[in-house]
Structure 1
Amino acid sequence: MATAGLNVSELVELALLLVAVGALSGFLAGVFGIGGGAILVPVFYECFRLAGVPLEVRMPLCIGTSLAIIIPTSIRSWRAHYLRGAVDTEILKAWWLPVLIGVIAGSVTARYAPERLFKIVFVAVAWSAAARLLLARATWKLGDDLPKGPLMKVYGFIVGILSTLMGIGGGLFSNLLMTFYGRPIHQAVATSSALAVLISIPGALGYVYAGWPAAARFPEIAALQLPFALGYVSLIGAVFVMPTSLLTAPLGVRAAHAMSKRTLEMAFGTYLFIVGSRFVISLL
């Protein structure tokens, strides 16, 4: 991520920021089952802005890098939740294929979509989920249990494609859907951590594919800003963030199981409202 326009002290500041972000994203991955992407994307956006990455590719670069980092974090978070017996394997069996198809569709979209689309999707979903969590009432339900058959598969596809366009592990959508159908928030968080594994691996590979033509369109990326990028995945960003995120993910799992249902919902909703607001400002 080094550039000709950044001096040594600025590079050190960016590196320290990324290390701190890794710790926080890992913790949130454990607490909310979100893979940490909802915090990584906004912070990467600021880091890449400071590094002079062109606006046209900045947002997809943030998302692709986020998905790559989510891989080890989500695996560790999922294992911690699984050992507590909180993961619903039946939902994973129903969703794995439609989620995977959605991830592929999102990766193809990322190759051709304008930069504003990524921000609009991020804001729309983050604020919708925040409203549901902050204003939640017991009467706000779509049903007593998750549906069977085609509708369930449609939900899986939506989780896959929107997660890929946001750079998150799918926890936002699966948490929202499961709680709307009466599932406990702790079970939703645990199951979402498993979905994050399924989404992040093909999603990251998809952004490598999607960003491959970017170097030809924006040669300054390859020549100056990101000499260690694969498509829309910044390897330098990943290297600084991954280690601390792995260390803090199990701590987040402990915190999640120590919180009450309502406390967890309020914390998650407040966080989503804040990160969504950041991109509303950039869209104006």
Structure 2
Amino acid sequence: MQLALAMIAESMLIYILVLLLTGMVVGFACGMLGVGGGFIMVPVQIWALTSMGVDPTLSTRVAFGTSLAVILPTSLCGCHGHICQGVVLWRQGVTLGLSGLVGALLGGTIAAHAPGELLRMIFGLVILAGALRMIFARELRRSRPQVVEGLVPYVLWGVAIGLISGLAGIGGGVILVPAMVIAMGFTMYQAVGTSTVAIAFNAMGGTISYAINGWGVAGLPAHCVGYIDLLQFILLAGASMLTAHWGANVTHKISEQKLKRVFVALMIIIGLKMMGLFNWIGF
């Protein structure tokens, strides 16, 4: 009996430490790269939940919903650091965010009724698509054409990326940052900074959707509000908020091209992992 209790305590300690470490990495990534960090959190959360015996489909939905809940406070902390650097374009960021909130509500509702395997495949494809777009985009320069004017492009991009955000359990920064640089005339620094504003709205819409659609579902882990795991939220958000501002400061100390390479490498690794390629080749 004592041995069993000791094993449970050890497993719980590992669980807590892994989530805290993940939260710290997520906060740093959010501040440095202008992404919510969902592409880092989701695989870890799915592993943690399935290792505790939660159904894989429910684990995926809970991971998506909780990831979006964590992204909200994390992105706001990262945003503060970028405001201090003067690279946040508020009108564009809020327009992208409000329209993204609508898309995220819809995306979260669709995901709440989709099988886990399909959701993980969508997640991987979204991440890889963003990485490939960054790789094959024309060279990012510090001096770029004027930022696109008018609200319509921002509304259309916001809704589309918000929908992806809700479907894939991510803030949408992995797609939004390349889109802002390539299609909207932002510098990399402006895109990263302004993205933290937009993804906060995306995260809010997705969180609401997952909480509502998961309400009363059988088989969820303890401490859940719909598909939002409050224990994971506290551990991840608490750790990520500590490191988000640090990441934002680091962004402005490295070159755009180095920032781009870090961004793309993370996206490719996580995307392939979630699509199951590493399992297929034996890793």
Q: TM (normalized to structure 1)?
A: 0.88
User: Deviation string for 1:76-132 (max 9, x for gaps)?
Assistant: 111111122111123124324321210121122122222233212211111111122
Aligned counterpart, 1:27: 28
Higher alpha-carbon deviation: 48-57 or 108-117: 108-117
Aligned counterpart, 2:191: 188
Q: CA RMSD in A?
A: 2.2
CA shift for structure 1 position 241: 1.6
CA shift for structure 1 position 72: 1.4
C-alpha change, 1:268 and 1:61, in structure 2 (3 Å) is: same
User: Deviation string for 1:44-96 (max 9, x for gaps)?
Assistant: 11111211110121111101111111121111111111122111123124324
Instruction: Determine if the alignment matches structure 1 residue 203 to structure 2 residue 206.
Output: yes
User: Deviation string for 1:110-168 (max 9, x for gaps)?
Assistant: 222222332122111111111222344339xxx97536454432211011110122222
Question: Out of 148, 164, 174, which is 2:166 matched to?
Answer: 164
C-alpha change, 1:152 and 1:246, in structure 2 (3 Å) is: closer
Aligned counterpart, 1:247: 242
Question: Out of 212, 232, 235, which is 1:237 matched to?
Answer: 232
* 3-state SS in 1 of match to 2:159: helix
CA shift for structure 1 position 7: 1.4
Q: Does the CA-based 8 Å contact 2:101-2:202 persist in structure 1?
A: yes
Distance 2:73 2:43 in 1: 20
**What is the letter of the counterpart of residue 20 of structure 1?**
L
CA shift for structure 1 position 13: 0.7
Aligned counterpart, 1:268: 263
Instruction: Determine if the alignment matches structure 1 residue 97 to structure 2 residue 98.
Output: yes
Q: Does the CA-based 8 Å contact 1:110-1:210 persist in structure 2?
A: no
Instruction: Determine if the alignment matches structure 1 residue 212 to structure 2 residue 219.
Output: no
Distance 1:253 1:118 in 2: 30
Distance 2:60 2:22 in 1: 17
The within-5 A match list for 1:1-284 is 7-138=8-139, 145-146=147-148, 148=150, 150-181=152-183, 182-215=185-218, 218=219, 221=220, 226-281=221-276
**What is the letter of the counterpart of residue 66 of structure 1?**
S
**What is the letter of the counterpart of residue 224 of structure 2?**
A
Distance 2:106 2:186 in 1: 28
Identity over aligned residues, as a percent? 29
Q: TM (normalized to structure 2)?
A: 0.88
Distance 2:196 2:156 in 1: 20
Distance 2:153 2:137 in 1: 23
Q: Does the CA-based 8 Å contact 2:46-2:56 persist in structure 1?
A: no
CA shift for structure 1 position 41: 0.6
Higher alpha-carbon deviation: 273-282 or 25-34: 273-282
Distance 1:191 1:28 in 2: 15
User: Deviation string for 1:189-234 (max 9, x for gaps)?
Assistant: 101101121111232121111212422xx3xx3xxxx111111111
Give the gaps of 5 or more residues in structure 1: none
Q: Does the CA-based 8 Å contact 2:102-2:205 persist in structure 1?
A: no
**What is the letter of the counterpart of residue 138 of structure 2?**
R
* 3-state SS in 1 of match to 2:123: helix
Distance 1:277 1:114 in 2: 19
Q: Does the CA-based 8 Å contact 2:98-2:198 persist in structure 1?
A: no
C-alpha change, 1:12 and 1:105, in structure 2 (3 Å) is: same
Corresponding pairs, count:
270
Give the gaps of 5 or more residues in structure 2: none
